[in-house]
Amino acid sequence: MPSSGPDPRGLLDLAVAAAHAAGRLLEARPDRALTVDTKSTATDVVTEMDTAAERLIVETLLTARPDDGMLGEEGGRRPGRSGVRWVVDPIDGTVNYLYGIPQYAVSIAVELVSPGPAAQHTGAGHTGAGHTGAGEVVAGVVHQPATGATYTAVRGEGAFRDGRRLSVSGQGDLGQALVATGFGYAAGRRARQAEVLRAVLPRVRDIRRFGSAALDLCLVASGQVDGYYERGLQPWDLAAGALVAREAGARVEGLHGGPPGERLVLAAGPALFAALHDLLAPLGPDRD
């Protein structure tokens, strides 16, 4: 990062403040049925609280840094002029939130982008480990409002939960590995993902499907799951949690050395990564 660039630690402090403010809003949900819309399918939902939380996060970030770019899941998108872009998922695990299940998170990552056309890029999709199509993620926070847990990372400076350093598991035996995964919203993709799962399940200790990619990646970072894979993640699901996992010692990649992204995200400690990759690769987990 150019020495003249903004200090990632200061950017992280701002991200944590915005995530905590959104967490307080989300935990103070109204005592009535939430207004719910759908997106890609009838089960891909966005609630009024997703929208309100993103609005609060964007307002907090841009009040402090008005020239920054923004890529938010619920439409908070704008190019920037500062060389800094925020990647925001106001509720990762929206279905869990809707059902009152505490496994949901606020995910905010910040990337440094090269000024010029790339800085205008607001597309989804990762182009490399730590990149989100326009720059490199240098800091991130994943906050679980229901428990208060706050996962943080600055590139090159380790990963933490509530200030305590995290480290991935040393599990190297596939048959003893606890592996998290997730499923898409489209029936055809879910059927394909079930085929992959059918082949994986007998080969590992067990599977966990918690419902939040950002928290799944943080559980890899803390060693509370040994590995994670999922197809269909967007940059806002992935950006902060991938940095936390990598800074805790995980490999976070696609297949065959490719970058993590919508096609597939695979995360595990170095002792397990190759075995989990070689189990998955022939199954075509990156194809519908």
**Which residues would be at the binding site for ligand LIP (CB under 6 A)?**
89, 92-94, 182-185, 211-213, 230, 237
**CB 15, min distance to ligand LIP, A:** 17
**CB 4, min distance to ligand LIP, A:** 35
Half-sphere exposure of 156 (CA within 13 A, CB side): 6
Nearest residue (CB) to ligand LIP, 95 versus 271: 95
CA distance 287 to 178: 23
- Taking alpha carbons only, the member of 55, 64, 59 closest to residue 12 is 64
Nearest residue (CB) to ligand LIP, 150 versus 193: 193
Half-sphere exposure of 25 (CA within 13 A, CB side): 20
Nearest residue (CB) to ligand LIP, 98 versus 112: 98
**CB 157, min distance to ligand LIP, A:** 25
Quick one: which H or E segment has residue 243? helix 235-247
CB–CB of 288/189 below 8 Å?
yes
Nearest residue (CB) to ligand LIP, 14 versus 213: 213
Structure tokens at 63: 């009040």
Nearest residue (CB) to ligand LIP, 112 versus 233: 233
**CB 42, min distance to ligand LIP, A:** 14
Q: Which residues contact 119 (CB under 8 A, 6 or more apart)?
A: 69, 79, 80, 81, 83, 85, 113, 134
CA 52 → CA 47, 91, 94, 130, 240, distances in Å? 9, 10, 13, 28, 20
**β-pairing, 178-181 with 206-208?**
parallel
Nearest residue (CB) to ligand LIP, 76 versus 83: 76
**CB 264, min distance to ligand LIP, A:** 13
Measured at CB, which residue is nearest to ligand LIP? 182
**CB 237, min distance to ligand LIP, A:** 5
